[in-house]
Amino acid sequence: MKSSFTGKIRILVILIFIITLVQVGIIFHLLNGFTDVQSLKIDIQNTLFITVFIQFIIVVIILFYVPVFLHKAFAEVHNILKDISQGIYSIDIDLDVYKRTMDKEFLGILESIDEMLKSVLTFDRLKKDKIVEHHNRILAILNLTQDGFIALDMKGNIVYINDTVMEVFPSITERLNVIDTNFPPEVENNIKKYILHILKSKTKQQPQQFYMPSLKKHISLNSAVIRDANGQPAGVVVSLSNLEKKKKEESE
């Protein structure tokens, strides 16, 4: 059976203690049965020299063995924690292999890390499923409404646009940068201008209206600024209402 790290250190310490007891026993034996002081002196010196030398060797072994062993034992733990720090959680830890090659004191650390990774992966999967569910629910609601919606990041990139806007304004598409794109006049002078004011001020703008000749009616613009957990602006949502007439004309 393989000895553990603690067991090996314990054996070496006990060995030092036994050598010390033997050393004391020999010295007492020499003191009780000596006949010549000079011979006694030499015997005690030899006894001390041999026992202290053996103890010194054992201490040197401990001093060199412990750092090397700890470095080797924590090498795998360090590599795993390094991957975790980089956001890699799908790590396959073969505990069966480590049970044969690693001391039980350090095996417990890997077992705890393995349990933690399973919990993290489970939580991450549930979180992603919930995010996708809410995302799809929001998209369904936005596509069912008669109003149009445009979602942008703070750099002017369109991250979402619902079907209502795309039907009325085919020049506006997802992944388009509003700032760098030239649109038809009705979009350039109204919607784009409204969005640029929001991006520049990083605050919502008051509702505005502009006339759409193709629809023969006014369209209303409204806005909201999305902020992150620190209160910093992270995106913009612009709503366009009163677009339903376009759909009615197409159905006719």
Report the percent of the chain where pLDDT is more than 70: 92
Single out the residue of 188, 217, 225, 3 nearest to residue 103, CA to CA: 3
| Domain edge (last residue) among 73, 106, 121 | 121
Q: What is the pLDDT of residue 5?
A: 67
Q: How many structural domains comprise the chain?
A: 2
Which one of 139-143, 164-168, 197-201 scores highest in mean pLDDT? 197-201
* 187 and 102 belong to one structural domain: no
* 106 and 156 belong to one structural domain: no
Q: Are 219 and 239 in contact (CB under 8 A)?
A: no
DSSP-derived secondary structure for 139-199:
HHHHHHSSSEEEEEETTSBEEEE-HHHHHH-TT--TT-BTTT----HHIIIIIIHHHHHHH
For residue 225, give the CATH number of its domain.
Answer: 3.30.450.20
Is the model more confident about 246 or about 227? Answer: 227
Summarised one tens digit per residue, pLDDT across range 178-234 is 999 999 998 999 999 999 999 999 999 999 999 988 788 899 999 999 998 888 999
- Please count the other Cβ atoms lying within 10 Å of the Cβ belonging to residue 66: 14
* 114 and 44 belong to one structural domain: yes
* 22 and 108 belong to one structural domain: yes
* 10 and 63 belong to one structural domain: yes
* 99 and 158 belong to one structural domain: no
Could you tell me if residue 132 is inside a domain?
no
Summarised one tens digit per residue, pLDDT across range 69-100 is 777 767 777 888 888 888 777 787 777 777 77
Q: Which domain holds residue 149?
A: 145-251
Which residues, at least 6 apart from 167, have a Cβ–Cβ distance to it below 8 Å? Answer: 246, 247, 250
Whole-number Å distance between alpha carbons of 207 and 59 = 82
| Domain edge (last residue) among 121, 156, 184 | 121
* 79 and 156 belong to one structural domain: no
